Each structure stands twice: as structure tokens, then as C-alpha cells.
Chain A
């Protein structure tokens, strides 16, 4: 069951997900191997975020199978995904504006201590210390852990969402457009972070509309088109134009003739919008 050398951590096989009449995922298959960074690209509405949410159990697939370490699993929800070692940055960041930086970092998993030996209360001090440390060490930003998130800039919010994904020391990290609100310098820090994660044996799926970023960060790239997998290729063996043409035509390279002219014009659109 294990392929030589590469050990699959997550396998998605023929997954379908439908919302009413919208078929968000019609046939998605991909594999995330141990210690690899897999890029997931596709046009707006291709189903990338839906796939991520299905992997963490926010959505249940209507058909198909998800395997963790070779075993088919039904994932109940984000908490279950967390116990399987998955940390997630959602595209919408999933922050609660009213709560502080520290509370958002530990949303749903706050450290507790026993007051008077019996009453479990939130350990504010530990939480604030750990929050500050994670932000400083992992993302190189200094933030007062007591600041409500609503006071923060878009980039700071994104950093907090990334920090939160790492709080539980996951060994699989899912990043849904983690850099969309970040400055160039901050993007570089995220790129470094991804390299660090990879170097320490983590497996990462990253969604990003900036193809240069994808190409510099990933080992392999999976292209999604209207809810189906077009192809998965080694990053080193594929050019930017190849990716774009797969994204817009929905056909694998060397497949049936793809409409070159059409592909080019969309490609220009893409690079300007990013």
C-alpha cells in the first residue's frame, strides 16, 4: 500500500460535493505525501475552498472517499480534523472580531488551569505568553495579545489565522490563500515558514492565486477546474503558462487541442488581478 519512498498522508478519491443545484466538487482526486508541499490552483469557484472544508469535515462529501494515512475516514468536523493532526487557515480567516488576539489564536482550545484545584478556568497568562511567542517566533510580528482583532489590519489578521493553524503543532497544514492580504515582506515570511514546515517533515497544501508564489513554494501542483481535478504535476517540470492553460481550459497538458488564444487572454487577466 505504500509507494516506494513517498508515504501518502491524505488521499482524496473521487470526492463529490453538491450544494443544492451547484456542484462545487464533481470529481476530485489528489494525494498529499508526507513532507511535501502541494499547490492547489484553479480559477475562482473551481472548488478549492470547498475541498479544504471537506477535508476538515465542515462539509461531508456526497460521494468518494478521504483517506488519512491509508485509512478511509469520516471527518466529523474541524475538531476531529485537529486530532488527526491537521491545522487549517481558512480563506475567510475564521476570526471573531470581538475577541482578542490571544483568544482568537486559541479559539476552541484555550488552555485551562484549575482554580482552587477544582474549577477549570482559562489560563490567561499561559495563553497570552504562548500567543506572543507563536506570533514572534513563527511569523515575526509583535502584537499585544489583548488587542481585539477588530483593531488589526488585514495582514495582521491573516498572520493570526496562520498562527492559529500552528498552535496545535499539526503535522498536516492546509493553507487557503494565506498570503492574499500580505505585503511582499510578509509573503516572504510565509514562504520561509512553509519551507520550515517542510524541512521539519510537515505536509502542506497551499492554495494561492499568485502562480509565482506557488511555483516557488511547492513540490507538486494540482490543478482544479470546475470541481474536477485536471492533473497533478511536478512543479519543476511545469511552466507558468502550462499551469494557466490547464486552469482555463480544464484539460491536461498534451491532451486534446486546447484553445491557445483563449488561454492567453485569461492568463493576462490573471497576472494583472494578482
Chain B
């Protein structure tokens, strides 16, 4: 026994550490098996219908607006901050863009309306970012006040839905293009996927992206290492505002017009999707691609409930239960993770 162990010991540690890495990898990407289970569950209850291509395409299409708003929330959470205003920013900027095209500058091309929408979203993000980074306002309170201000602001702009918008304003959220093999497919799905891949790329491959993780992980350390943390935080909120506005644009196209309530109602689902996608509420951890899994999980559950003819009013309750389950799950995972690490 004694002449074996010295040789085998390093091998065993190697294998153990590989296994640990595999376990950690699985824990970090837990959303995908969960999504698969949920999908299989509804497929079993709704044989034939649920797995149809049409259903899957619709599921992706309904997820587009929420997807963009979830990204808006996720980047803030990764930077160690909070954004309660993503939903009302989506609604307010979509309404501002719509009114610009119909009342303030009727006849202007829809593209200008989209620019207005993106600028409004970015400007609100800038306001959040500057007050949080430069004035030291608590992010929760700051974005709570922007949530309230702009939720009210939507009604100040218009208490009714705005229709009759130029086609180009609705195009990103409404248009369907024909592609061989996958047939007619909504552009919004491509836009959503582009946003997820784009933000993932920025966060994982660029200096700015890694600085966002560093600030979220330990802001004081990041500052001591020479990262301009204020600038990073302001940029994060501007990007968040622009992404939320993009979500508003996609929802406007989906609904065929700007409505006063659609954006606002997205805050909780976006937050839920980010958390079940594994974004840490403490910052510095999480992969935005996984939040797509979170978005799709919520979409799968609500589509499944609708198709099972379950009263749609229970959807919010179900979403809440899903969030609670996710929080419990990640708490357990976190403790397990700590144990694994302390064993290393």
C-alpha cells in the first residue's frame, strides 16, 4: 500500500479536481437541464401540440421582448447593482418613440423613432448611473424612484395605447422573414439571439466586460487595481437602459402598438429569469447566455399553462413559485459550492 499511494495520489487528485470542475460546471449551467425537464413535462401533458415547430417558434417569439429586458437586468446584477426600472424604462421609451412618430413629428421615418426610443432609454440609464456612481445613491432606491417616475411618465405621455405606427418602427418586433428550412420566422427571434450573443461577447471577451465582473465581484479591489469603477457603473446603466428600450421596441412590434402597461409588467419576469439563469444577486458571477434559459423556462411554463387551459391569472403566482424555487435551489447550490471549494 505504501509504495502505491505516492504514485496514485497525484492521479487521484487530478481526477478529483476534474470531477470537481465538472460538478462546478454543471452547477453553473443548471438552468438548461431544468428547462429540458420543464419542456419534457409539458410535452408529456400535451403530446403532439407542445413539441410542434410552430409552438416552439411562438415560444421564442414571445420571449424576445422579455429577453432584452432580462439582459438589461442581468448586466446590472453582474456589476453588483440593481435595476428596478428596466420595465418602466422599456414602456416609457417605447411610448416616447411612438408619440414622436405619431404626434410630435408625424411623418418622420420610423428609424428616427427607434433612435428616439434608444436615446430615451440610454438617457434614463445615464441618470441612474451618474446618481449611483457619482453621488453614491443606493441603487435600489435610485432605480425604485426611476421606476415610479417613468411608470407615471408613461401615463403622462398617454393613458391609451398608440397604434398606427410606421411599419419600420414595428418591423423589429413584428416582421416575419422567410428562410429556407426554418420557414417564415420572426425577425425578433434573431434580434434576441443577437443581443444575447453580443452581450455575452462583450462581457466575456472585452476589457470593459471583465471590468464589469471585477466591479461586481469586489468594487474596492477593482478600484485599487486601477479600474475606473464609476465609469464602469455608469456605462452599465446606460447599456441597461438601451437594452430595456430595445425590449420595449420588440414588445411594441409584438403588440402592434405601444401600450401603457406592457413594459412595466416585465420587471418581475425579467428579474426572475435573470436569477433562475444563475446571475448572482451579489454580483460578479453569472453567464448572460444562461438567462436566455431562464427566459425560455418562464415562456415554457406560461405557454404550457395556457395550452392546458389553466386560468391565465395564476401565471404570476406560478412565476413567483418558480422564483422561490430558484432562490432556494441556488442557496443550496451556493452552500454545496463552498463545501466543494473548501475540500480542494
C-alpha gap A112/B208 in the complex (Å) = 11
A23 within 8 Å of B (CB atoms): no
B207 within 8 Å of A (CB atoms): yes
Q: Which residues on the A side are within 8 Å of B285 (C-beta)?
A: 98
Question: A108 and B205: CB pair below 8 A?
Answer: no
Question: B225 and A98: CB pair below 8 A?
Answer: no
Q: Which residues on the A side are within 8 Å of B210 (C-beta)?
A: 99, 103, 110, 122
A199 within 8 Å of B (CB atoms): no
What's the dominant secondary structure at chain B's contact region? Answer: helix
Question: B205 and A122: CB pair below 8 A?
Answer: yes
A96 within 8 Å of B (CB atoms): yes
Q: Which residues on the B side are within 8 Å of A98 (C-beta)?
A: 213, 216-217, 284-285
Q: If A98-B284, A150-B341 touch, does A108 touch B225 (CB 8 Å cutoff)? A: yes
**Chain B stretch 214-232: residues in CB contact (< 8 A) with chain A:** 214, 216-218, 220-228
Q: Which residues on the A side are within 8 Å of B217 (C-beta)?
A: 96-99
- Binary per-residue interface labels of chain A (73-93) against chain B in the complex, 1 for a CB within 8 Å, 0 otherwise: 000011101100000101011
Q: Which residues on the A side are within 8 Å of B228 (C-beta)?
A: 77, 79
Q: Which residues on the A side are within 8 Å of B214 (C-beta)?
A: 96, 99, 103, 107-108
A120 within 8 Å of B (CB atoms): yes
Question: B222 and A107: CB pair below 8 A?
Answer: yes
Question: B205 and A109: CB pair below 8 A?
Answer: no
Question: B206 and A58: CB pair below 8 A?
Answer: no
- Binary per-residue interface labels of chain A (118-132) against chain B in the complex, 1 for a CB within 8 Å, 0 otherwise: 001110000000000
A95 within 8 Å of B (CB atoms): yes
Question: B226 and A108: CB pair below 8 A?
Answer: yes
C-alpha gap A96/B218 in the complex (Å) = 6
How many chain A residues touch B (CB < 8 A): the figure is 30
Q: If A98-B213, A98-B285, A99-B217 touch, does A108 touch B206 (CB 8 Å cutoff)? A: no
Number of CB contacts from chain A to chain B under 8 A: 80
C-alpha gap A111/B228 in the complex (Å) = 17
B211 within 8 Å of A (CB atoms): yes
Question: A151 and B205: CB pair below 8 A?
Answer: no
**Chain A stretch 104-150: residues in CB contact (< 8 A) with chain B:** 107-110, 112, 115, 120-122, 150
Q: Which residues on the B side are within 8 Å of A115 (C-beta)?
A: 205
How many chain B residues touch A (CB < 8 A): the figure is 23
Question: B205 and A94: CB pair below 8 A?
Answer: no
User: Distance in Å from the Cβ of B344 to the closest Cβ of chain A?
Assistant: 5
Q: Which residues on the A side are within 8 Å of B220 (C-beta)?
A: 92, 94
Question: B225 and A58: CB pair below 8 A?
Answer: no
Residue on B with the closest CB to A79?
A: B226
Q: If A96-B284, A97-B218, A150-B341 touch, does A78 touch B207 (CB 8 Å cutoff)? A: no
Residue on B with the closest CB to A152?
A: B344
C-alpha gap A77/B221 in the complex (Å) = 13
Residue on A with the closest CB to B338?
A: A150
**Chain A stretch 145-188: residues in CB contact (< 8 A) with chain B:** 150-151, 164
Q: Which residues on the A side are within 8 Å of B211 (C-beta)?
A: 108
C-alpha gap A90/B284 in the complex (Å) = 21
Q: Which residues on the B side are within 8 Å of A81 (C-beta)?
A: 226
Q: Which residues on the B side are within 8 Å of A107 (C-beta)?
A: 214, 221-222, 225-227
Interface centre among B213, B218, B221 (most CB of A within 10 A): B221
User: Distance in Å from the Cβ of A233 to the closest Cβ of chain B?
Assistant: 30
Q: Which residues on the A side are within 8 Å of B224 (C-beta)?
A: 56, 58, 78, 88, 90, 92, 94
**Chain A stretch 35-84: residues in CB contact (< 8 A) with chain B:** 56, 58, 77-79, 81-82
C-alpha gap A21/B224 in the complex (Å) = 24
Residue from A56, A82, A112, A164 in contact with B207 in the complex, judged by beta carbons closer than 8 Å: A112
C-alpha gap A232/B210 in the complex (Å) = 42
Question: B226 and A96: CB pair below 8 A?
Answer: no
**Chain B stretch 177-218: residues in CB contact (< 8 A) with chain A:** 205-207, 210-211, 213-214, 216-218
Nearest 6 Cβ contacts at the A-B interface? A94-B224, A107-B225, A108-B226, A96-B217, A79-B226, A98-B217
Please report B residues at the A interface, Cβ cutoff 8 Å: 205-207, 210-211, 213-214, 216-218, 220-228, 284-285, 341, 344
Can you name 13 A-B pairs with beta carbons within 8 Å? A77-B223, A78-B223, A78-B226, A82-B226, A88-B224, A94-B221, A96-B217, A96-B218, A98-B216, A107-B214, A107-B226, A120-B206, A164-B225
Q: A96-B218, A98-B217, A110-B207 are in contact. List 18 more A-B contacts (CB 8 A).
A: A77-B223, A77-B226, A78-B225, A90-B224, A92-B224, A93-B221, A94-B225, A96-B214, A96-B222, A97-B218, A98-B216, A99-B284, A108-B211, A108-B227, A109-B226, A112-B206, A122-B205, A122-B207
Please report A residues at the B interface, Cβ cutoff 8 Å: 56, 58, 77-79, 81-82, 88, 90, 92-99, 103, 107-110, 112, 115, 120-122, 150-151, 164
